Amino acid sequence: MVNLRIVNTDRQASGSLSETSDIELLHAISVDLIGEQDRQALYGKIVDAAISITQSQFGTMQLLRKTEDGAASGLHLLVSRGLSAEDRAVWQWVTPKALSSCTQALKYGQRAIIPDFESWEEIAGTPDLAAFRSAGIRSAQTTPLLARDGTLLGMISTHWDQPHQPSERDLRLLDILARQAADLLERTIAEEALREREKALEASVATLRETQEIQQLLTAELGHRVKNLFAMVTAITSHTLKGSNDQARGQTLQQRLMALSSAHDILLQSSWKAALFGDVANAAVNGAGVGGRIRLEGPDVEIGSKAALNVALLLHELTTNALKHGSLSVGGGSVDLNWRIEGSGLGQTLRMTWRETKGPAVVPPDRKGFGSKLISAGLGGSGGVVLAYNSTGLMCEISALLEELQGAE
């Protein structure tokens, strides 16, 4: 025999309450609920009111929720009265497949009353019945909490330690309490959703602010880089235009700008942070079309963006001079370009040697043009240059502190 009652709660509470004490009880409950600001305390007072109305030993309030993956719904325990910690752990999350008054109310969408779990044939021999026995629960009722639009929000249940059938008076008062509870629960759910939206908005604003700060930083950095690059281009142009005829000046300017461009391309690959000395050197000599006649050798060494541009221009000038006047101007001539690190700690020095062989005898230039001044300025733009005009070609040794070369500026 199945002793399970499903009671339609769609009806409004009808008729006047015959007992003055019931009216006073409802009024006291309403005042208490409306005055409570703490959400968890509010849930507790709703359950306390349900227990007071039904004279039960246990009470729970549950919220209908989706699982974290959104695949299924279940009833999450918000607050309980009379249950041990072990019992609360059992019913913290109730799936629709469980057997209880709350799952029956969930299944049928209206109040469910189980006067005696021991007489409910469907639950006999199940872990659900064992859980009720362990908790000391013998009977229960569950009243759905419905929003004004009919949406199911959760459940409010009361349980007794003996077989029990709630009276019509109890059910009427529960209906009124459930209406109040549903309104308050709907309000708190809406407030919680609003707070979550506010948190999400704050997070979005913080992310946007951080993005804007990064953009401002990048814009400032880009502006600084472009300013330095234009200054270098202006210097190259100014010195180049002091040359001989128009055609020669134009060709020289184009070659210098191409050398600058090759270094710029290498720096772009590292977001203008650093470049390998060997990569910059290789690009500079290959740009002149004599890569096979210049032997490069040295360790992997990172240099900063400004030093990379200086190295590219300096090696371009050395290569150009060798093509015009030095070892690369004759068929058998060649160049050895090597670099090494000397010293340790903050005193580490990068030393680069350019050695021309099998070329014509060279002599110091009569006047210093842009190229000569650039070579004299060295790797870091502050000297450290030794020039030897040998009978077989130029030997140029340039050194600079590695710490200076690896700076961004």
- Interval 155-190: pLDDT, tens: 999 999 999 999 999 999 999 899 988 888 788 778
More confident residue, 268 or 41: 41
Cα-based distances in Å from 228 to 33, 41, 225, 280, 379: 70, 65, 5, 18, 17
> What is the CATH architecture of 244-405?
2-Layer Sandwich (3.30)
Structural tokens at position 21: 């004490």
How far, in Å, CA of 341 to CA of 24, rounded? 93
Whose tokens are 């979005």? That residue is 204
Answer yes or no: are the C-beta atoms of 317 and 309 closer than 8 Å. Answer: no
Structural tokens at position 157: 């249940």
Answer yes or no: are the C-beta atoms of 60 and 100 closer than 8 Å. Answer: no
pLDDT exceeds 60 at position 110: yes
Return the sign of the alpha-carbon dihedral for residues 286, 288, 294, 300: negative
Cα-based distances in Å from 117 to 88, 107, 353: 19, 18, 96
Helix (H, G, I), strand (E, B) or coil at 103: helix
Note the pLDDT of residue 309.
78
Q: If you average pLDDT over every residue of the chain, what do you get?
A: 80
Which CATH fold would you assign to the domain 5-193?
A: Beta-Lactamase (3.30.450)
What is the amino acid identity at position 79?
A: V
**Listed residue (153, 181, 152) closest to 44, CA to CA:** 181
Cα Rg for the chain, rounded, in angstroms?
44
Structural domain boundaries in the chain: 5-193, 244-405
Helix (H, G, I), strand (E, B) or coil at 148: coil
Query: What single string gives the DSSP state of each residue in 268-327?
Result: HTTTTS-EEHHHHHHHHHHHTT-GGGEEEE----EE-HHHHHHHHHHHHHHHHHHHHTSG
Cβ count near 254 (within 10 Å): 11
**Listed residue (388, 406, 279) closest to 350, CA to CA:** 406
Note the pLDDT of residue 32.
67
How far, in Å, CA of 280 to CA of 264, rounded? 9
Q: Please compute the mean of the pLDDT values over residues 339-366 and round it to a whole number.
A: 86
How far, in Å, CA of 341 to CA of 43, rounded? 73
Instruction: Give the pLDDT band (50/70/90) at residue 252.
Output: low
Q: Please compute the mean of the pLDDT values over residues 125-135 and round it to a whole number.
A: 96
* Region of 383 on the Ramachandran plot (φ > 0 left; ψ -120 to 50 alpha; else beta): left
Residue 143 β-bridge partners: 156
Percent of the chain having pLDDT more than 90?
32
Structural tokens at position 265: 């391309």
How far, in Å, CA of 35 to CA of 42, rounded? 9
Q: Please compute the mean of the pLDDT values over residues 327-349 and round it to a whole number.
A: 88
Answer yes or no: are the C-beta atoms of 92 and 102 closer than 8 Å. Answer: no
How far, in Å, CA of 140 to CA of 91, rounded? 14
Note the pLDDT of residue 381.
55
How far, in Å, CA of 110 to CA of 120, rounded? 19
Note the pLDDT of residue 13.
40
Note the pLDDT of residue 250.
56
Whose tokens are 């059992």? That residue is 90
pLDDT exceeds 50 at position 342: yes
Note the pLDDT of residue 17.
39
Percent of the chain having pLDDT more than 70?
72
More confident residue, 317 or 273: 317
Residue 142 β-bridge partners: 112, 157
Whole-prediction pTM: 0.48
Answer yes or no: are the C-beta atoms of 108 and 8 closer than 8 Å. Answer: no
- Interval 371-391: pLDDT, tens: 666 677 666 655 578 888 888
Whose tokens are 């929000």? That residue is 153
